Amino acid sequence: MKLLLLILKNIRRNLLRSTLTSLGVLVLVFVVTLIWSVLWFLDLVTAERSRNFKGIVSERWRMPSQMPFSYATTLEEGAAREPGDVRPEDSMTWQFFGGSFEPDPRKRTRDNTIFGIALEPAKLGTMMDELDQLPADKAAPLLEAIAGLEGRPNGIIMGRTQLQRTGKQIGDRFTLYGLNYRDINLEFEVVGTFPEGRYDNTVAFHRHYLLAALDAYQQARKRPHPLADKTLNLVWLKVPDRAAFDRLGAQITSSPLYASPAVKFETASSGIATFLEAYRDLLWGMRWLLAPAILATLALVISNAISISVRERRTEMAVLKVLGFRPAQILLLVLGEAVLLGGLSGLVSSSATYILINHAFGGLKFPIAFFPAFFIPEAAIWWGLAVGAGTALAGSLVPAWNTRSVRVADVFAKVA
């Protein structure tokens, strides 16, 4: 305890230096937290799970997948045809619809365009990551929005960022003029929004609405829409374990129902990993160049400050030795000073980053694949403590070790 008090006093003795060091740690831990949060999330979504995960059915060769909707019925059953065949625990179909608020094609821009997903409303609450595990207070508004979708054929749920970007709010009506579905224009009414976070950029509506529009097109023009048999983009299947996944995969890929186009069945994490492959050099750079360089800079900043501090206090350390402090105790004093300063600063930084990024900025917007934003995980709060303390320890080892070389005779000879 007394050692701790001494450490605190030492930190206070040169408040300017301690503040500058602390500020340096604060900003550098901030950046490291951001970088590791992005990498942590990408590692999470690409990590192969062994239980309770989802697989994706998509075209075997072409991207984006454009399968006929007739595939959906049997795929939702896992292409089960023999007794004993495995069926998925749950399923979800996705059809991508891109539309613009602007009827004149020449005036269409990114800003007046949105991409939405046509699906079964109930699946939003059972098949979407994180939405299937919401606490009661956040689940209630979502359930209400889902009920809105089911109750209104032209209902649409928009994430908060999309609402903000398009200037819409719940209750508004608008028309989307089809981009990928040429000549299919859909009128929507906003019935709800997603909980703040991962789905801020997501837009979803009832798949029946799109299918009905395609039917109406055929009736009106006496021919099917060019995308009529290419409307199904992805099918998600929930499986309990690896064995079930492998069985389902075999059932699907061996089924004669999916010949043209052929399909493949892969885990969601594998599918995402393929998309991320294009970013592999960028992510490698972030993981093995950027983050280590920042950690090294952190260690250097602290090492510099502690070295200066030790050099200025050689006489004081000689006095401590005269009073009976052992070299190891003096070493611990110096290390303790660094670790306390670095650890506390790191903890404050990562906590502030968590609050700032997640709640003030609505996530870190960094363009990697189809992820609109990244969030700081709760665990990151402890990263700051660990990084700050760890780099402080590494940076202060040498200056702290050098205190052992302080010789009482030399120091007092100079002073005399």
Partner 1 sequence: MYVSSVLLWMLLAALAASALLVWLGRIPIQYNLRNLVVRWKTTLLTALAFTAVIALLTVMMAFVNGMYQLTATSGQPGNLIILSDGVTDEVFSNIAFADAGDIEIDERIVREDGQPLCSHETYLVVNQPILHPQPGRPLRRFLQIRGVDNPEISARVHGLELLPGGAWFGTGVRDLPQAGGDASPPQSAIEVVLGEGIARELGRDRDRQQLASARHPQRLDVGDTFELNARQWLVVGVMNSAGSTFDSEVWGKRALLGPMFGKETYTSLVLRTADAAAAREAKRYFSEDFQKAAVQPLVETEYFASLNDTNRQFLVGVVFVTIVMAVGGVFGVMNTMFAAISQRIRDIGVLRLLGYQRWRILISFVLESLFLALLGGAVGALLGGLCDGVTANSVVSAGPGGGKFVVLRMVVGADTLALGLLLSLAMGFLGGLIPALSAMRLKPLDALR
Out of 39, 74, 89, 98, the residue judged to bind partner 1 by CB under 8 A: 98
Distance of CA 288 to the CA centre of its chain: 19
Q: Rounded to the nearest whole angstrom, what is the least distance from the CB of residue 11 to partner 1 in the complex?
A: 14
Please tell me whether residue 31 binds partner 1 under the rule CB under 8 A: yes
Please tell me whether residue 261 binds partner 1 under the rule CB under 8 A: yes
Contact call for residues 197 and 372 (beta carbons, < 8 A): no
Closer residue to partner 1, CB minimum distance, 146 or 376: 376
Residue with tokens 């896992």: 78
Q: Rounded to the nearest whole angstrom, what is the least distance from the CB of residue 265 to partner 1 in the complex?
A: 12
Residue with tokens 């969601």: 268
Given its phi and psi angles, is residue 52 left (phi above 0), alpha (psi -120 to 50 degrees) or beta? left
Out of 367, 378, 409, 416, the residue judged to bind partner 1 by CB under 8 A: 367
Q: Rounded to the nearest whole angstrom, what is the least distance from the CB of residue 194 to partner 1 in the complex?
A: 17
Contact call for residues 389 and 345 (beta carbons, < 8 A): no
Out of 6, 134, 179, 408, the residue judged to bind partner 1 by CB under 8 A: 179
Q: Rounded to the nearest whole angstrom, what is the least distance from the CB of residue 369 to partner 1 in the complex?
A: 8
Please tell me whether residue 221 binds partner 1 under the rule CB under 8 A: no
CA atoms within 13 A on the CB side of 24: 22
Q: Rounded to the nearest whole angstrom, what is the least distance from the CB of residue 131 to partner 1 in the complex?
A: 20
Candidates 109-117, 131-139, 207-215, 327-335: pick the segment binding partner 1 (CB under 8 A). Answer: 109-117
User: To 5 degrees, how large is the angle CA 54–CA 138–CA 347?
Assistant: 85
Please tell me whether residue 360 binds partner 1 under the rule CB under 8 A: no
User: Rounded to whole angstroms, what are the CA distances from 372 to 96, 111, 163, 197, 362?
Assistant: 16, 15, 14, 10, 11
Residue by residue, DSSP assigns 300-322 as HHHHHHHHHHHHHTHHHHHHHHH
Residues 282-321 that bind partner 1 (CB under 8 A): 282, 285, 289-290, 293-294, 296-298, 300-301, 303-305, 307-308, 312
Q: Rounded to the nearest whole angstrom, what is the least distance from the CB of residue 323 to partner 1 in the complex?
A: 26
Contact call for residues 207 and 120 (beta carbons, < 8 A): yes
Instruction: Give just the sign of the alpha carbon dihedral 373, 197, 148, 128.
Output: positive
Closer residue to partner 1, CB minimum distance, 134 or 308: 308
Between strands 203-206 and 173-178, the pairing is unpaired
- C-alpha to C-alpha distance for 263 and 207, rounded to whole angstroms: 21
Contact call for residues 146 and 124 (beta carbons, < 8 A): yes
> What would the x/- binding string for partner 1 be over residues 53 to 72, using CB under 8 A?
-----xxxxxxx-x------
Closer residue to partner 1, CB minimum distance, 20 or 243: 20
Residues 114-133 that bind partner 1 (CB under 8 A): 115
User: To 5 degrees, how large is the angle CA 313–CA 317–CA 319?
Assistant: 120
Out of 50, 133, 219, 260, the residue judged to bind partner 1 by CB under 8 A: 260
Contact call for residues 128 and 176 (beta carbons, < 8 A): no
Contact call for residues 338 and 306 (beta carbons, < 8 A): yes
Q: Rounded to the nearest whole angstrom, what is the least distance from the CB of residue 179 to partner 1 in the complex?
A: 5
Please tell me whether residue 348 binds partner 1 under the rule CB under 8 A: no
- Least Cα distance to 116 among 171, 181, 42 occurs for 181
Candidates 71-79, 146-154, 232-240, 271-279: pick the segment binding partner 1 (CB under 8 A). Answer: 271-279
Between strands 185-192 and 155-158, the pairing is parallel
Q: Rounded to the nearest whole angstrom, what is the least distance from the CB of residue 328 to partner 1 in the complex?
A: 23
Contact call for residues 29 and 350 (beta carbons, < 8 A): yes
Candidates 71-79, 117-125, 365-373, 384-392: pick the segment binding partner 1 (CB under 8 A). Answer: 365-373
CA atoms within 13 A on the CB side of 114: 27
Candidates 5-13, 86-94, 257-265, 320-328: pick the segment binding partner 1 (CB under 8 A). Answer: 257-265
Q: Rounded to the nearest whole angstrom, what is the least distance from the CB of residue 391 to partner 1 in the complex?
A: 12
**Binding stretches for partner 1 (CB under 8 A):** 16-17, 20-21, 23-25, 27-28, 30-31, 35, 58-64, 66, 96, 98, 100, 105-106, 108, 110, 113, 115, 179-180, 182, 226, 260-261, 264, 266, 270, 273-282, 285, 289-290, 293-294, 296-298, 300-301, 303-305, 307-308, 312, 365-367, 369-370
